[in-house]
Structures are given as C-alpha cells and as structure tokens.
C-alpha cells in the first residue's frame, strides 16, 4: 500500500544513497481508548491504530553495519554507523537507541546483516501516542523483510518489547507494539494480554455523531525517566506478596501495604472498565462509554498518580465544554488526553481547551480527531 509518507521516505532514501530502497515498511502510532497500565499486569486493553505512522526505507548492506538517517521537517539527521555485532545495552543513546535495540534483539534471532535505514514519520514525539514503538515496529519489519525472514506478529511484538525493556531501558508492556502490529481499520483491538486472545471490535464513532478528539498537551514524557518503572515494580511487589502471577489475579487491594493499595485498586477497576467498554461498543452504545473514560482518568490521577496538571486541565476543560468523557492516555507524566465529543460541538470543545491552557499559562496544545487505521506492514 503506497502512501505519500512511504513515497517521500523512498525519495529521501534515493537522495541520500543514490539508489532506490529495497522496500519501505511502516507502522502506526496508537490511541488507547481505555485500559492503561493494565498490560504489564496481564490485564485487558483496548487500543486502536491512528493514521499517523513511521516509515522506514531500507536496503541491505554486506558489511554488518547499520546506517541511520531520520528526516525531520525536511532536514536529515544522521546517527553514527552501528556495527550489528557490537551492539549492546547502554551503547547507543538518543533516538538511535530504538532501531539499534531492535537490531540487537534480531541479532539473537540470527539476523546479522547490515542495512541502510532512512526514517520519517508524523507520529508526534513525546505525545503518548507511541512514536517510539511505531519506529521500533517499522524497523523490525524492515530488517526482517531485508533478511527474507517471516515472523508472527506475536513474536515481533515480544522482540520489540525486549528491545524497549533491555536495550532502551523502558520497562513497557505489550500494549503499544501489539496495537501497532495488529490493529485494523475501523476497529479497536480488544486484547487479553495474558492469553494473547484478540478481538477486533468495530469502532466507528462518526456513525453515531461522535469523535475521539486527541489533545496533545505538548508536555513531552519519557518512560525511562518518569515514575513508570516505580509503578510497575509496585504492582509486581503486590502480586508477589499475594502469591499470584500478576495483579490481574486480585479482586481487592485490602490487606496490602498502604502504599501499594492505590496501584492495585487502579488495575482492578481499569480492567473492569475495559470489559464494560467492550460490552457497550458491541451493543453500539457509544455515548455510554464517556463516563468510563472519565472514571479511568480519575483513577490514573488519584490512584496510579501518573497524570500531570496539563492532562487534568485538558480533560476537565473538555468535559465542561460538553465532552461525554475524557482521560489521559499513555504512560502518563505528560503526553496526550482524549475526549469523546459530539461532532457538532467539536470546535467548542477545542476552543475551551485552548482557552483553559492559556489561562493557566501553558503553551497551546495540538488537537486532531483520531480514527482507527490499519496496522503495520510493507508499503512498497
């Protein structure tokens, strides 16, 4: 499937290397409708892919070296060449660590060839829309494609998670990479992380006069530098104390140490909210998911404590202006919120959010309507 993004990335490759790429692969960012911080607790999630993507144009090399170039606003940014056989955790910093981590993991799968990679994309960085995972997934598909190796989506998701966890140093779960790989157009992906069972749930908000408005606060977040790892460690400790595999197996936070109870309470209630949301969508009761989104935000703010003032202002302002529900998405500590908005008042909601940010002295947010898009694959 050709697109403007894949074509422009291929042309950038040709300008840099003097030849056409062997192929172009791409992967989308994602919006998680509901189900936050449940993936690494063996729980339930409900993401959908968005049209914004990362493209990787690639050609093989025979010397075991990977070259990286990123096209940003028409400017080319390069990273030092990487020798595949010498890659190791901590050895690459900045944006290059994400494709490097993928190459490091795939080397363990016997894929040791080099490659020239040219990267472009329009997933906003630091926005909680999974720009890093879209880059990693697209890189994985490109390197696998160049090597002529076919792999299951579940294997690719696990390899990308390993790259993120062990090479980059962010202890993420399986939500983002699975969404990028497996989501389909006009559907949300209902995923049971423990079993791997997936269901494509039809999701067409426009049919019911609604939009999912994304509000990017432009407060950049980092899962490596934030309290993400601390929250995950707390959940793992709670499961250990209770003698279960994961917080998913608990039905109450009672009896746990006081500092762990809010974390467990969030995961228990969030899993329940995902299941209820799926039930409502199956019955085409779209408007009724709004309060579940708002309850999710309150839980993430008060129990999991991963929100920030900009996300709280965005959600509150959207609801006051008529949104049916709103919540932060992603790991937290910045990034984006979503609001379920009647289409006819979308402009009013946007205006209210911009005004609320101005009153607080924040920079203006970035907004767009998210629609479920296709997952990752080869474009050219």
Q: Sign of the CA dihedral 129, 299, 202, 340?
A: negative
Catalytic residue (one of 42, 176, 303, 379): 176
Retrieve residue 133's tokens: 């995972």
Give the list of residues 6+ apart from residue 66 with CB closer than 8 angstroms, or none.
81, 82, 83, 84, 99, 100, 103, 114, 115, 116, 117
Cβ atoms 315, 300 nearer than 8 A = no
Nearest CA-CA partner of 188 in 339, 341, 47, 326: 47
For the CA atoms of the chain, what is the radius of gyration? Answer: 20
Q: What angle do CA 88, 376, 140 make, to 5 degrees?
A: 20
Retrieve residue 262's tokens: 């809010």
Tell me the angle at which helices 261-282 and 290-302 cross, rounded to the nearest 10 degrees. Answer: 170
- Number of H helices and E strands in the chain, helices first, is 10, 12
Residue with tokens 């935000």: 297
DSSP track, 270-289:
HHHHHHHHHHHHHTT-GGGG
Known active-site residue 312: no
Strands 114-121 and 65-72: what pairing? parallel
Residue with tokens 């060839």: 113
Would you please indicate which residues are annotated as catalytic (active-site) residues?
176
């Amino acid at each position: 499937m050709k697109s403007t993004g894949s074509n422009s990335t291929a042309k950038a490759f040709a300008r840099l290397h003097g030849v056409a790429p062997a192929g172009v692969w791409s992967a989308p960012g994602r919006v998680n409708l509901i189900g936050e911080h449940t993936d690494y607790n063996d729980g339930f999630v409900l993401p959908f892919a968005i049209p914004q993507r990362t493209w990787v144009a690639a050609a093989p090399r025979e010397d075991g070296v990977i070259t990286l170039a990123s096209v940003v606003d028409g400017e080319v940014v390069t990273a030092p060449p990487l020798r595949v056989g010498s890659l190791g955790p901590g050895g690459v910093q900045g944006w290059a660590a994400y494709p490097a981590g993928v190459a490091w993991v795939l080397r363990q799968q016997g894929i040791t060839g080099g490659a020239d990679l040219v990267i472009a994309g329009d997933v906003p960085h630091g926005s909680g829309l999974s720009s890093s995972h879209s880059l990693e997934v697209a890189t994985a598909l490109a390197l696998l494609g160049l090597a002529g190796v076919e792999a299951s989506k579940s294997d690719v998701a696990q390899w990308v998670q390993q790259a993120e966890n062990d090479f980059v140093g962010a202890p993420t779960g399986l939500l983002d990479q699975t969404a990028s790989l497996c989501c389909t157009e006009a559907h949300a992906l209902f995923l049971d992380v423990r079993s791997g069972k997936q269901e494509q749930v039809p999701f067409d908000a426009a049919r019911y006069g609604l939009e999912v408005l994304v509000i990017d606060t432009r407060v950049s977040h980092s899962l490596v530098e934030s309290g993400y790892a601390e929250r995950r460690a707390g959940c793992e400790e709670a499961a250990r104390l209770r003698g279960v595999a994961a917080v998913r197996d608990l039905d109450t936070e009672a009896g746990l140490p006081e500092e762990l109870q809010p974390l467990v309470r969030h995961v228990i209630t969030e899993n329940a909210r995902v299941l209820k949301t799926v039930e409502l969508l199956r019955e085409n009761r779209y408007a009724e998911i709004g309060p579940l989104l708002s309850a999710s935000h309150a839980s993430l703010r008060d129990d999991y404590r991963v929100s920030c003032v900009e996300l709280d202002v965005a959600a509150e302002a959207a609801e006051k202006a008529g949104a049916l529900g709103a919540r932060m998405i992603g790991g937290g500590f910045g990034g984006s919120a979503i609001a379920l908005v009647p289409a006819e008042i979308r402009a009013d909601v946007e205006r209210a959010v911009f005004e609320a940010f101005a009153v607080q002295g924040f920079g203006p947010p970035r907004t767009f309507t998210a629609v479920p898009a296709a997952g990752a694959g080869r474009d050219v």
